[in-house]
Structure 1
Amino acid sequence: MARPYCVVVALLLLAGVSRLGEGASNPGFVARITREGLEYARQYGKAALEKELSTINLPDLSGSFHAGLIGSVSYEFRSLRIRDFQLRNFNLSLRPEQGIMASLSDNYMSVSGNWMVKKAFITLHGSFDLSADGVSISVSVKLGKDQSGRPTASVTHCSNSVGHFSIDISGSLSWLLNLFHESIENNFKSISEQKICEMVVELTTSHLKPYLRTLPVTLKIDQVAFVDYRLVGAPQVTSQGMDVPFKGKFFGLSRHDRVSFDIPPIRMPQEHDLMIYFAVSEYVFNTASWVYHQAGHMNFTIRNEHIQNLMRFVGNPSAKAWRKPSCLTSKDIPFTTMISCFSSSFLLRLLQRPLDSPVHLHTTSLGAVIPQLPRLYPNMELELEVSPESAPFLTFTPGNVTLVPVINIQAFALLPDSSDRKLLFQLRAGTNISATISVSSNRIWGSLTPGSKLKLELIQSNINFFNVQLMESVLNYYATYLIYPSLNAKLAEGFPLPLPRNTFLNDLQLQIHKNFLLVGANME
């Protein structure tokens, strides 16, 4: 009976768990198990239970009867094995504040084994077949959590009954035992009714509790981040299903670091068509952003070799004549629009140079944008350090996921014959970014696309004034082909959903609501 219990608990997670002290905290992650999910557990559990019960060895039974002139005779039934167990009625239900109720009623069981009779120094033996009809078992399992936030389980109630026993005994002097089959059958019934619940408690202790410890509480993402999936409150049970709240927080190696923002409330819509739903708060993604920002994993250093790799990827081996862009052929356009258009066109012309004349991250190459640069620092390579001013946070609105990062960009000249470098200028860049979030059978991942171009602001310059708008075009190109692909490669790794092992999702649906992402799925 261990596997069906595990399936039930894996789907229901913490039905009827006792009130938890952290219940006042908003969850970052909510799992909803619907009635369809409960029906899936029932169907799977029924098939698994029938298979599992057929492999169980029952404990030996013993007793005695009075055989007239012979007197009292002792008997034993050994090597009892269930040959067949037919589950005619198997139901699972949720009881608010109580737990999971599993009911098996009006079922059939057949058992085979060996018998032995002793009277003084005489021993007789043979085999038997037993059938039991109207077998009913009712079990209530209450789930809670330990101090680490892991679920626990205990049997709070168990009752069972057997409607009718029938036994067929064969072997030497089996006719003698058959004379007293009614007494033996009653003894079987009494002992079986006692042993069934003992077995249920034992299986809960030996199988269910260890399985619950395999449910994810903390998951490692990489060498930087972990996800906290502890429970933060009691499930809310309704007639349609159950919502289970989890912490849903990323944390780094120093688990005690506290983020400075709150968890927004999750108001889940009344969705119950699929087996299971996951509501993932923007808080989950933003704690991930905070952790990686704190660890310095959002900082980029762009060097000359990166530019060369970029040019090999996007370079055009045949030089094309530069044509006057259409935006410059219009009359009466604003001066700022003209500058922006010219800057973009100039950059395009620059990047369409033949491969034998590549663009370098070099004071000479950048002299086309900052003329005084090669005079002040002749023939020197450059480095660009790019870092967010603070951890960029996602904002969820119906149908959209956006973020508005503010980025610091510092340019350095690498001094020749020295490990030193000279700060040339510092820029602040702002932009709007759209995020696309996807889900697979067991993970959530994302990708970023620019919603607007980088807008630059000159914060500091050690090389006097230069054309910031022209620099915008250069950095927007770098962002498109270098920074965004690097970020998306990391985001593509995603993070896992808190699913039991060997559980996968299909028929996936994804909706974006205010403050959270809703993923619906069926299970397999």
Structure 2
Amino acid sequence: MTARPHCVLVVLLLAGLSRFAVGNSNPGFVARITKKGLEYAQQYAVTILKQKLSTVSLPDLTGSFKMGWFGRVSYNFYNLKIHHFEIWNWNLHLLPNQHITVSLPNNDIFLGGNWKVKKAFIDLQGNFDLTVYSISISVSLNFGKDQSGRPTASVAQCSNSIGRVRVHISGSLSWILNLSHEGIENNIKRILQQKICEMIRQSTTSYLEPYLRTLPVTVMIDETASLEYRLVGAPQVTSEGLDTPFKGEFFNPIQPAPAPFGAPPMMLPPRHDHMIYLAISEYTFNTASWVYHKAGYMKVIIRNEHLRNLIKLAASESAKKWREQNLRPGCQLFKSTTLTTMASCFSNNFLPLLQQMPLNFSTLLHTSSFQMLVPQLARTYPNMEVELEASPESEPLLTFTPGNVTLSPVINIQAFVLLPNSSDHRPLFQLRANTSVSINVSVNSSRIVGSVTTGSELKLQLKQSSVSDINVELMETILNYYAFNIIYPALNAKLEEGFPLPLPRQIYLNNVELQIHKNFLLIGADIN
């Protein structure tokens, strides 16, 4: 299968870029909302509750009372509205393996409306103001997951109490109603006690649950791979906060199949500084490597036209910046490391060849260009194009160790000559390439991005050859030269795109901190 080399290399490095049970049940991605984050969410929920209460119309209050010789008088309180809900206090309690309880003790509600009294030909009306003092609310939330793998939230318990109610009635002959204010106040108190928990449950159904449904379950990366973010278990309340385990697995949407390896366990450190912590297992990245390798997209056929595309990408501003920061002229390629000096690259044979191979060289893969590598080649196959086929021996896997992310692929490189006026490919030689690449991982407001940092050189070993002796050392130098000057800068230009984090809509990360632990990447952040 033919693929664009830089795209496959991007996949290679992206794919190669709490305590739970051992085995396949381990999540690939864990989101922990700390108590600090839950308190931030609680402030948002309280704001929604206040807005909701301000729009609620309470039912009309009707009744009657006896007024001496005047007989029975009927009254009606209508257009009852909550003007203001003054929240003075709130508390958040985490009950491990149970639920989260939010308490709002000793708060006040201010209401108002109109009243009307009718007795025979007498028709009186006016308005009133009512204050509810020392109202306390306690709500417990349970968390679960639905069939689609998204989190759910429901009200497990709700209770409230009201200290006292005071009503002030104004208007024509309002003293008539003031004679029976105690009964009116008790009636209003009873109705409010019924309504408050009802409104909280409605708010959970109308606001919180639809918001949780905005969490992505599947993110399409390209036509070959999608990323699965469904929950593998219900969110768990702990003493540290709320842990939510996600699958965190790449899969082929056309031919889905489970990865042949499981996710390692992750032990999240007890951190509380940020609102949210995201733990991303090396398993997530390595399932991407497995998917693309199985689909054949890591088998790269490199021709001259591919090199021209790579050269164009390497000329981009981000690629130039990478070369300026990481490379120095001559054979000591990296500024920040003491690699081998590669003295042979300045031998009498190779220096002229390097001078003939600027970054815009477009016919590198040609038998005439290989005459210093394989002297017999140009004579046996004069003026013919050469094709390289590269593929890893197995899916290359990322390794996470404290402070480091490395990728150590083993790649087979097969060279063919393309016979003119024919579809025949004649095998020339096969090389095995070993290298170790370090990956620098970072996070922006909504995506994980990466870049290639200094690593070891590409080391070649001749596996077989159908032509004369090959100058493997010279071939190694040329491939390193082009890898460092073209492939790595082009790769970094693509790695800057990254892949998205499973965040609800309109949520972005700030004050981001990133740590690399054994088996996983830990991101601490606040949200806004």
TM-score > 0.5 by shorter chain = yes
Quote the Cα distance in structure 2 between the aligned partners of 1:23 and 1:118: 75
Q: Which amino acid aligns with 1:55?
A: S
Report deviation, 1:398: 1.3
Q: Which residue of 1 aligns with 2:344?
A: 342
Q: Is the 8 A contact 1:449 1:484 kept in 2?
A: no
Quote the Cα distance in structure 2 between the aligned partners of 1:421 and 1:439: 45
Query: Which secondary structure state, in structure 1, belongs to the residue aligned with residue 187 of structure 2?
Result: helix
Q: Which residue of 2 aligns with 1:351?
A: 354
Quote the Cα distance in structure 1 between the aligned partners of 2:310 and 2:469: 28
Quote the Cα distance in structure 1 between the aligned partners of 2:24 and 2:487: 40
Q: Tell me which moved more, 190-199 or 350-359.
A: 350-359
For these two proteins, the number of residue pairs brought into alignment is: 484
Quote the Cα distance in structure 2 between the aligned partners of 1:120 and 1:252: 79
Q: Is the 8 A contact 1:293 1:391 kept in 2?
A: yes
Q: Which residue of 2 aligns with 1:176?
A: 176
| CA spacing shift, 1:469–1:115, aligned 2, 3 Å | same
Does residue 258 of structure 1 match 2:258?
yes
Higher relative contact order (CA 8 A, sep 6+): 2
Identity %, equivalent residues: 58
Quote the Cα distance in structure 1 between the aligned partners of 2:277 and 2:190: 45
Report deviation, 1:236: 4.9
User: What are the equivalent positions in structure 2 for 1:323-402 lying under 5 Å apart?
Assistant: 341-343=343-345, 345=347, 346-353=349-356, 360-402=364-406
Does residue 478 of structure 1 match 2:482?
yes
> Pairwise CA RMSD of aligned residues?
3.0
Q: Is the 8 A contact 2:162 2:189 kept in 1?
A: yes
Q: Which residue of 1 aligns with 2:245?
A: 245
Q: Is the 8 A contact 1:228 1:247 kept in 2?
A: yes
Quote the Cα distance in structure 2 between the aligned partners of 1:271 and 1:448: 29
Q: Which amino acid aligns with 1:204?
A: T
Query: Which secondary structure state, in structure 1, belongs to the residue aligned with residue 215 of structure 2?
Result: coil
Q: Is the 8 A contact 1:127 1:171 kept in 2?
A: yes
Q: Which residue of 2 aligns with 1:5?
A: none
Report deviation, 1:266: 0.8
TM score, norm. by length of structure 2: 0.83
Query: Which secondary structure state, in structure 2, belongs to the residue aligned with residue 458 of structure 1?
Result: strand
Q: Is the 8 A contact 2:212 2:504 kept in 1?
A: no
Does residue 81 of structure 1 match 2:101?
no
Q: Which residue of 1 aligns with 2:93?
A: 93
Quote the Cα distance in structure 2 between the aligned partners of 1:432 and 1:467: 23
Q: Is the 8 A contact 1:60 1:76 kept in 2?
A: no
Q: Which residue of 2 aligns with 1:56?
A: 55
Q: Is the 8 A contact 2:24 2:263 kept in 1?
A: no
Q: Which amino acid aligns with 1:364?
A: S
C-alpha offsets along residues 105-130 of structure 1, whole Å, 9 cap, x if unaligned? 11111112223334567654332221
Q: Tell me which moved more, 71-80 or 204-213.
A: 71-80
Quote the Cα distance in structure 2 between the aligned partners of 1:389 and 1:163: 74
Q: Is the 8 A contact 1:94 1:237 kept in 2?
A: yes
Q: Is the 8 A contact 2:266 2:520 kept in 1?
A: yes
Quote the Cα distance in structure 2 between the aligned partners of 1:262 and 1:274: 29
Report deviation, 1:78: 2.6
Quote the Cα distance in structure 2 between the aligned partners of 1:425 and 1:121: 112
Quote the Cα distance in structure 2 between the aligned partners of 1:46 and 1:209: 16
Report deviation, 1:354: 8.1
Quote the Cα distance in structure 2 between the aligned partners of 1:347 and 1:151: 62
| CA spacing shift, 1:141–1:132, aligned 2, 3 Å | same
Query: Which secondary structure state, in structure 1, belongs to the residue aligned with residue 484 of structure 2?
Result: helix
Report deviation, 1:470: 1.6
Q: Which residue of 2 aligns with 1:469?
A: 473
User: What are the equivalent positions in structure 2 for 1:264-275 lying under 5 Å apart?
Assistant: 264-275=264-275
User: What are the equivalent positions in structure 2 for 1:228-307 lying under 5 Å apart?
Assistant: 228-254=228-254, 256-307=256-307
Q: Tell me which moved more, 505-514 or 215-224.
A: 215-224
Report deviation, 1:255: 6.3
Report deviation, 1:39: 3.2
Does residue 456 of structure 1 match 2:456?
no
